[in-house]
């Protein structure tokens, strides 16, 4: 992964600021380069995790046309792009992804992202048009942050680099802080950061800056959305086997395209998503004569002991994949020291909130020499979606006989299933609230750790109440919500410290658009959710994985809770030993936080406690 930075700014300090921005991106590689022309500057860091694209040719220039391109990009389906651009076969092997983006800009202008597949964030400076054009891929696999200092525009792949430019304030956005601490649900994390002046370009969007980078009223900017998942056309009617065959072809290509560079590692949890990626990657790497991927699990190493009952099934599923494909797995459970290390970092920057279990994996992967890590993140929103919203659509559409048949075929009592559908239409969280009440659990509101005075002074951001009606509408809403890119941005930042680049085969645009066009029956069939994936992978995966109906994932919680409980006494000592409270303690209910750290099991209210500790600067 490369890292970008730059400016469209008239300021005597801008060039020195570009140097500071590059220094802030040092985690992304030792090699850096910069280019300036008038009031425009581009900078880039190069990391070893990529396929070496363009490290010595920054930026990619067309001097005759006055175009300069800087990109953090890995393009897929290059042959189709070569043909569309009319590139002769003799020239294709020498063309980098960045140079292809330059040619795409010359051919299609602002429409070029519609013709590009892969993971990318790029910037094009067109001197003739006096335009700085920025784009981020459909899923946000590469981060892109920006700010508007006086009379200008700055951007970077990391928040720290944006803040390094003189004139960009590091003041926190208190509305975002309040929303984060109260756990408010569907608020837009696609555009906001913890910093008031720093924003991020949403996935599937472009940002255009026009005009001269000189003093005045500032540049003219506009943000446009180019990828609309809800507008994906429906798939042509086909048999189950035809859908399965098309899925497997697209899936195999998505995995193959993400194996460049390396060495390669894979997440492995025993679920459909991670297991299928591990199998397809292992087979393709063997075909290429390369070593099999190393697998990494969040479960603790057994060291000859019997697994805990809650984990026994997941160990067995992981072992089944490893035995079938002759893989070696490293179990990387989080330790109390890892928890302390993560929470001592500034939680206002990406890479902390989503870092819980992944800290140990990154440490193990880096020690094993892995540079590319494949993750199944995003599958639940795409081709392995569980069919949520289908029954609600049947109810509202008057298809009650079909709804009754669906409820009878499910794993729960039909009346319970029907009640859940009706209650979720009244309010999406109502079934959860009633379930908590019936089990005697404390209301979520009482678990918040926001300071009462701060809560009275600053209100959280408005929260959208989203009712799941229809499979495609639900999928599109999940893809736009920001939770996917939030983890991607966090893993990009934290992975860079270990020289790791994350890639997400199930977020491949071709695969997502295929999933979005499928009829709802391909996601839920009788008692089986994620039907198409199970049907297509039958014979590819061990049957105990393919037809496992238990989605419980204790590896995400129990080892983490154990590590957090082990770190709690040290965290409390650190907080109480200070002569003065942390500066951000004004946002947190410190008394209640310390009481929770004193509890026998502080993980009882884990998420509010973790969020409060993440935000504190200690």
Across 453-472, average pLDDT? 84
Contact of 547 with 535, CB cutoff 8 Å:
no
Per-residue DSSP letter, 461: P
Is the per-residue pLDDT at 303 higher than 60? yes
* 414-426 and 430-438 helices, crossing angle to 10°: 120
The CA–CA distances, whole Å, from 31 to 22, 27, 52, 263, 286 equal 10, 10, 11, 20, 32
Note whether residue 596 is domain-resident. Answer: yes
- Cβ contact 81:100 at 8 Å: yes
In sequence order, what are the residues at sequence separation of 6 or more whose Cβ sits closer than 8 angstroms to the Cβ of residue 582?
575, 616, 617, 618
Place of tokens 């929303």: 179
From CA 268, how far away is CA 211, in angstroms rounded?
A: 49
pLDDT of residue 217: 60
Query: Percent of the chain at pLDDT above 70?
Result: 90
CA angle 236, 240, 246 (to 5 degrees): 65
Domain span at residue 575 reads 427-468+558-615
Higher pLDDT, 175 or 413: 175
Contacts of 392 (CB under 8 A, 6+ apart): 421, 424, 425, 467, 468, 469, 470
Digit-coded pLDDT (tens) for 241-251: 999 999 999 99
Number of independent structural domains in the chain: 3
Q: Looking at the domain assignment, is residue 415 inside a domain?
A: no
The pLDDT value recorded for residue 51 is: 47
Which residue has 């800009």 as its token pair? 105
How would residue 538 be classed by pLDDT, with cut points 50, 70 and 90?
A: very high
Give the tens place of pLDDT for each residue, 239-282: 999 999 999 999 999 999 999 988 999 999 999 999 999 999 99
Reported as type and span, the H/E element at residue 221 is strand 220-225
- Residue where a domain stops, chosen among 192, 227, 262: 227
311 and 318 in contact (C-beta within 8 Å)?
Answer: no
Same domain, 502 and 576: no
Q: What is the CATH number of the domain that holds 301?
A: 3.40.50.620
Q: Are residues 325 and 290 located together in one domain of the fold?
A: yes
Enter the tokens of residue 118.
Answer: 């892969």
Same domain, 445 and 375: no
Average pLDDT, the chain: 87
What number of other Cβ atoms are within 10 A of residue 191's Cβ? Answer: 12
**Looking at 110-151, which runs of residues are DSSP E strands?**
118-126, 131-136, 145-147
pLDDT of residue 55 exceeding 50: no
Q: Measured between alpha carbons, how far is 363 from 332 in angstroms, rounded to an integer?
A: 9
Cis check: omega of the bond before 336, within 30 degrees of 0: no
* pLDDT score of 366 more than 80: yes
**Residue where a domain terminates, one of 207, 227, 247:** 227
pLDDT reading at 613 higher than 70: yes
In a domain, 387, yes or no: no
Let me know if residue 431 belongs to a domain: yes
- DSSP letters spanning 154-192: EEESSHHHHHHSTT----B-HHHHHHHHTT-SS--TTTB
- Is the CB of residue 21 less than 8 Å from the CB of residue 10? no
**Within 13 Å and on the Cβ side, how many CA atoms surround 329?**
31
Whether 259 and 136 share a structural domain:
no
The last residue of one of the domains, among 198, 227, 256, is 227
Query: Do 455 and 478 fall within a single domain?
Result: no
Predicted local distance difference test score (pLDDT) of residue 49: 45
Q: Per-residue pLDDT averaged across 350-376, rounded?
A: 88
* Residue 552, domain member (yes or no): no
Among 28-32, 121-125, 186-190, name the one with the lowest average pLDDT. Answer: 186-190
Give how far Cα 499 sits from Cα of 41, 122, 158, 372, 470, Å: 26, 21, 15, 9, 41
Encoding tokens for residue 208?
A: 């255009």
26, HSE (Cβ side, Cα atoms, 13 Å): 5
245 and 331 fall within a common domain: yes
153: tokens are: 């525009």
Highest mean pLDDT among 15-19, 307-311, 350-354: 15-19
- Whether 327 and 278 map to the same domain: the answer is yes
213 and 347 share one domain: no
Q: How far apart are CA 389 and CA 495, in angstroms?
A: 35
What is the C-alpha separation between 584 and 180, in angstroms, rounded? 14
Q: What percent of the chain has pLDDT over 90?
A: 58
Q: Nearest to residue 298, comparing CAs of 378, 386, 385, 376?
A: 376
Range 197-210 average pLDDT:
96
Residue 354 lies in a domain: yes
Residues 59 and 135 both lie in one domain: yes
Does 175 reside within a domain?
A: yes
Same domain, 464 and 495: no
Judgement on whether residues 221 and 318 belong to the same structural domain of the protein: no
- Quick: pLDDT tens for 70-85: 999 999 999 999 999 9
Q: Which two tokens stand for residue 552?
A: 């419980």
Beta-strand runs (E) in 315-441: 329-331, 372-374
Segment 568-575 shows an average pLDDT of 93
How far are the Cα atoms of 144, 347, 382 from residue 140, in angstroms, in the given order? Answer: 8, 21, 15
Higher-scoring residue by pLDDT: 439, 65: 65
- CB atoms < 10 A from the CB of 12, how many? 8
Interatomic CA distance for residues 150 and 129, integer angstroms: 22
Lowest mean pLDDT among 227-231, 329-333, 522-526, 599-603: 599-603
Are 150 and 41 in a shared domain?
yes
Residue 528 placed within a domain = no
> What's 48's domain CATH number?
3.60.20.10
Residue 52 pLDDT: 45
């Amino acid at each position: 992964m490369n890292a970008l930075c730059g400016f469209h700014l008239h300021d005597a300090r801008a060039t020195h600021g570009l140097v500071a921005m590059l220094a802030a991106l040092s985690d992304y590689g030792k090699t850096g380069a910069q280019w300036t022309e008038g009031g425009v500057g581009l900078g880039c860091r190069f990391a070893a995790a990529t396929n070496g694209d363009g490290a010595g040719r920054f930026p990619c220039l067309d001097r005759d046309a006055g175009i300069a391109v800087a990109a953090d990009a890995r393009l897929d389906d290059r042959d189709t792009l070569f043909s569309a651009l009319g590139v002769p076969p003799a020239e294709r092997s020498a063309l980098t992804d960045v140079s292809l983006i330059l040619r795409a800009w010359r051919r299609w202008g602002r429409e070029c992202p519609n013709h590009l597949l892969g993971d990318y964030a790029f910037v094009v400076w067109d001197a003739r048009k006096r335009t700085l054009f920025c784009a981020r891929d459909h899923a946000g696999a590469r981060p892109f942050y920006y700010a508007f200092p006086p009379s200008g525009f700055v951007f970077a792949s990391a928040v720290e680099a944006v803040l390094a430019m003189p004139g960009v304030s590091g003041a926190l956005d208190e509305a975002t802080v309040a929303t984060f601490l109260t756990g408010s649900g569907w608020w837009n994390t696609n555009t906001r950061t913890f910093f008031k002046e720093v924003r991020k370009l949403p996935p599937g969007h472009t940002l255009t800056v026009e005009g001269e980078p000189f003093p005045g009223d500032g540049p003219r900017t506009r943000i446009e959305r180019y990828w609309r998942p809800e507008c994906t056309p429906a798939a042509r009617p086909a048999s189950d086997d035809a859908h399965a065959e098309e899925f497997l072809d697209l899936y195999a290509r998505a995995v193959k395209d993400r194996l460049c560079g390396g060495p390669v590692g894979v997440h492995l949890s025993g679920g459909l998503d991670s297991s299928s990626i591990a199998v397809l990657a292992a087979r393709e790497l063997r075909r290429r004569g390369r070593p099999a991927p190393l697998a990494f699990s969040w479960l603790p190493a057994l060291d000859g002991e019997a697994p805990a009952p809650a984990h026994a099934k997941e160990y067995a599923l992981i072992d089944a994949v490893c035995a079938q494909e002759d893989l070696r797995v490293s179990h990387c459970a989080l330790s109390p020291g890892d928890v302390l290390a993560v929470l001592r970092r500034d939680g206002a920057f990406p890479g902390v909130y989503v870092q819980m279990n992944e800290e140990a994996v990154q440490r193990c992967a880096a020690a094993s020499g892995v540079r590319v890590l494949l993750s199944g993140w995003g599958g639940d929103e795409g081709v392995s979606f569980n069919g949520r919203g289908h029954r609600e659509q049947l109810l509202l559409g008057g298809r009650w006989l079909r709804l009754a048949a669906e409820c009878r075929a499910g794993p729960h009592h039909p009346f319970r299933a029907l009640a859940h559908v009706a209650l979720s239409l009244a309010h999406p969280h109502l079934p959860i609230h009633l379930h908590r009440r019936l089990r005697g659990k404390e209301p979520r509101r009482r678990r918040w750790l926001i300071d009462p005075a701060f809560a009275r002074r600053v209100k959280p951001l408005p929260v959208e109440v989203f009712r799941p009606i229809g499979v495609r509408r639900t999928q599109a809403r999940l893809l736009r919500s920001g939770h996917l890119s939030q983890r991607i941005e966090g893993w990009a930042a934290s992975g860079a410290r270990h020289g790791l680049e994350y890639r997400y085969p199930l977020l491949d645009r071709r695969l997502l658009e295929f999933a979005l066009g499928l009829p709802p029956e391909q996601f839920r069939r009788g008692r089986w959710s994620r039907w198409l994936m199970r049907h297509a992978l039958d014979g590819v995966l061990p049957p105990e994985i393919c037809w496992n109906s238990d989605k419980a994932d204790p590896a995400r919680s129990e080892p983490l809770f154990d590590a957090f409980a082990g770190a709690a006494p040290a965290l409390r000592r650190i907080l109480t030993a200070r002569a003065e409270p942390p500066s951000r303690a004004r946002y947190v209910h410190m008394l209640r936080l310390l009481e929770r750290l004193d509890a026998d099991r502080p993980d009882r209210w884990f998420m509010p406690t973790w969020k409060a500790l993440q935000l504190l600067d200690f």
